[in-house]
Amino acid sequence: MVLFLRRNKIAKNVFQKYWLIYPIVISAFVSSLTFNEGFGRFIGGHQKFSKAAVNFFDNCTFTETNNASERYCSESIIHNWTDNGSLSPFLTLSVFIVVFYFLIALASTVPIPSGIFGPSFIVGGAMGRLVGEIVAIIWKDREFDVYPGVYAVVGAAAFCGGVTHTVSVAVIVFELTGQLMYILPVMIAVLIANAVSSYLQPSIYDSIIQIKHLPYLPDIPHSSSNFHGICVEQFMTSSVKFLSKTSTFAELENLLSKMPKLKAFPIVENDRTTFIIL
């Protein structure tokens, strides 16, 4: 999307000249798509997007019809994800994942302060919840209960860790849920997601830096062993021009005339020790 906005001449001229139009168009599009009386009922639009994680992490099962069961969801959850029983929760979860996956990518291009962590966390929770609901159907009426909320927690941590390339997501999940019993599946999921995504592409933050052409130190690929043996002395500048505490005004003027493009010079103690003092 960013490359399209930069390469398309019409979009580039319009949005650079009238930059306020783009956020208004994106906001109107997202609001219309998530309106609960329209298409929003297929993506749980009866509640705010930020509250979706609370529904995903709930220990109930969306497909449970026995209201006497411990896994029966509250009326608000059923209303939000089944539209009062008229829609399948598998349909709403699937559409939710697809729609918000692209909406997050679209909204991240808007030139206003926004976050990537929270939306990625919720979309990952939806993926985990969908898998948990499927497993709950397969293992229905078995010896042990399946809690789709646990799958949602693991999915949220894994997806968010893959997007940001951070392992600290697992710690954040433990802080949010207060449950350390799921440390093993969460850590395994985060590590696998991090390893796979690191192999495929840089993190979302590194991608933004590259798109904006900001200066940064790129990561050295683990497969390129030659780069790991390079020392600083092989590419450093050895003949450095400097000034000492005893330098005269004539020497300073002479140095500036010889090196007009340099904007700063190191100041050392004296010409022999060359201890930098400034």
Q: What is the DSSP string of the chain?
A: -HHHHHH-HHHHHHHHHSTTHHHHHHHHHHHHHT-TTTGGGGTTTTS-GGGHHHHHT-SSBTT---TTSTTBPPHHHHHHHHTTTTS-HHHHHHHHHHHHHHHHHHHTTSSS---SHHHHHHHHHHHHHHHHHHHHHHTTTSSS---HHHHHHHHHHHHHHHHHT-SHHHHHHHHHH---TTHHHHHHHHHHHHHHHHHHS--HHHHHHHHTT----PPPPTT-HHHHT--GGGTS--S---EETT--HHHHHHHHHH-TT-----EES-TTT--B--
- Does residue 108 lie within any of the structural domains? yes
| Same domain flag for 199 and 277 | no
Total domain count, the chain: 2
The pLDDT value given to residue 116: 84
| Same domain flag for 104 and 180 | yes
| Same domain flag for 273 and 185 | no
| Same domain flag for 276 and 207 | no
Instruction: Give the predicted TM-score (pTM) of the model.
Output: 0.73
| Same domain flag for 207 and 251 | no
| Same domain flag for 144 and 250 | no
Determine the structural domain holding residue 265 and report its residue range. 237-278
pLDDT surpassing 90 at residue 158? yes
Which pLDDT tens digit goes with each residue over 93-121? 999 999 999 988 888 878 777 778 888 99
| Same domain flag for 178 and 69 | yes
- Does residue 19 lie within any of the structural domains? no
| Same domain flag for 200 and 245 | no
Which pLDDT tens digit goes with each residue over 203-237? 888 887 887 778 777 666 665 567 677 888 887 77
Q: The domain spanning residue 172 has which CATH number? A: 1.10.3080.10
